[in-house]
Chains A and B, each alone.
Chain A
């Protein structure tokens, strides 16, 4: 975890239960709505949505141009715009440039496209260090970025969120959009990983 809890878990759980029971009694929240919200973020939205956008850009050069020129419109074109992802900028990784996304102030992240952010993205260490020593941070993810490659950091905010368009891996030429999408990981779309081919060959 990012930081230790200064209160025991059981105490926090009880407090949350008390607040929930009061809000339900007062009609401020509907228990079914709470379940639906949790189900949406646990099971429906997630990196598979961003992966569709990436695979589309890899297989459709005109779409890729539109995506890089105006991420918001191009994502909306696929019907994938959603809460917390209303204004999007897509940045492309190339052999010369590696992009990395952070939110130094809190945890801004394109929820509708990648789901809720992982703990590391919200951690004090990632938020503080990504902007000052990105290459060391990337090493902790097992990613060595050559000194020849420029590293660009994008600090997200409440109104503007970013998505990395990773490099298409060599060896995936001629793959279908669906098979390509299956290769694209969450971390690759934040910039803390590259897209890799699976160890064992997969039929395209």
Chain B
């Protein structure tokens, strides 16, 4: 499928963001998004479906999100599509925690 993820050969993306001694994760939420995705794609949906889910992100959002924000989008989408967690449940829980 053609989409914003098909970046090979595109111009204008700027210099390579090289970071010395980079940590594996840059925050706790990144680590948790990775781990929850890993745990669910082992048990509930294949990893290919996760990648495809991130490719279904609207192009403008895809290009303005960080790597793990795209993973988070894919995770939420698949949790909803597989009837594991609804967007309403997430919003209610956020309200409770706020």
Q: Interface residues, chain A, CB within 8 Å of chain B?
A: 1-7, 9, 12-23, 26, 28-30, 33-35, 37-38, 41-42, 84, 102, 104-107, 115-116, 118-120, 122-129, 131-132, 137, 140-141, 155, 158
Contact = CB atoms under 8 A, between A and B. Distances in A.
A29 to B, nearest CB: 5
Interface of B: 5-11, 13-19, 22, 24-29, 31-36, 38-40, 44, 47-48, 51, 54-55, 61, 63-67, 69, 72, 75-76, 79, 84-85, 89-90, 93-94, 96-98
Closest 10 pairs (CB-CB, A-B)? A104-B8, A18-B93, A125-B13, A128-B10, A34-B35, A37-B35, A16-B29, A128-B7, A13-B29, A127-B7
Contact of B24 (A2, A29, A41, A137): A41
Contacts, number: 167
A119 B90 contact: no
A124 B34 CA distance: 19
B66 A29 contact: no
Given A2-B67, A3-B66, A26 B17 contact: no
B98 A14 contact: yes
Contacts of A6: 61, 64-65
A81 to B, nearest CB: 16
Contacts of A35: 35
